[in-house]
Amino acid sequence: MLGGEALKVYSTDEGISRVLSIYPYAIMERAVVRGYAAFKLEEMSERLELEQGTIESTVLPHGGINTLGLVFTERSSGKKFTYYTDCKRVLRDAVAMALDSDVVVLDELRPEPHPSHMSIDEAVVIAQEIGAPLTYLTHLTDHAEGEAFLPENVKFAYDGLRLNL
């Protein structure tokens, strides 16, 4: 679809350094061999304007590193989708950015506390602070607890889940 051109990948300086160290062979302007990936790394700005809408980014603590949380707003409908995964905490400014979201996806690894991911209880607190009509928890290790223990508007995400906003 890109005619062999590199796919832009947006991240923080820290994320770009990590990708460069793990996948140095894939960072180039064009794929060397047809069918192989080529990526062009760019620093993610706080707000990226696209024809279809906007993507806002915020830093999320994830143990000893930071990840990016993203908030997508579709221009035509005004629908808002928040994606905050791979994080231990969601900072106050990130909560504020996610307010009025139609759907939120939050990190949640397991019921017990973890040093770099939110527990179910921690994720539910953030879900309630954001107050979206629907929140999905992702990155979980075990469905054994079941959704019966979650608030009505909080669900477990699953492989193949499709969202229509």
Closest listed residue to residue 92, CA positions, set 117, 116, 59: 59
Closest listed residue to residue 127, CA positions, set 159, 163, 103: 103
Closest listed residue to residue 54, CA positions, set 34, 74, 70, 36: 74
Closest listed residue to residue 96, CA positions, set 131, 50, 49, 53: 131
Q: What pLDDT does 135 receive?
A: 97
15 versus 82: the higher-pLDDT residue is 82
Tokens of 33: 């061999």
- Interval 66-119: pLDDT, tens: 999 999 999 999 999 999 999 999 999 999 999 999 999 999 988 889 999 999
Instruction: Please check the confidence at residue 28 and state whether its pLDDT lies above 70.
Output: yes
Instruction: Please check the confidence at residue 149 and state whether its pLDDT lies above 80.
Output: no
Q: What pLDDT does 30 receive?
A: 84
The pTM for the full model equals 0.85
List of domains in the chain: 1-43 (no CATH), 46-156 (3.60.15.10)
Q: How far is Cα 33 from Cα 162, in angstroms, rounded to an integer?
A: 32
SS3 10: strand
Tokens of 108: 């949640």
Q: What pLDDT does 53 receive?
A: 98
Distances (CA, A) of 42 to 46, 59, 90: 13, 16, 24
82 phi-psi bin (left φ>0, alpha ψ -120 to 50, beta other): beta
Q: What pLDDT does 145 receive?
A: 59
- Model confidence at 26, pLDDT cuts 50, 70, 90, reads confident
SS3 99: coil
The 10 Å Cβ neighbour count of residue 106 is 27
Q: Which amino acid is at 111?
A: P
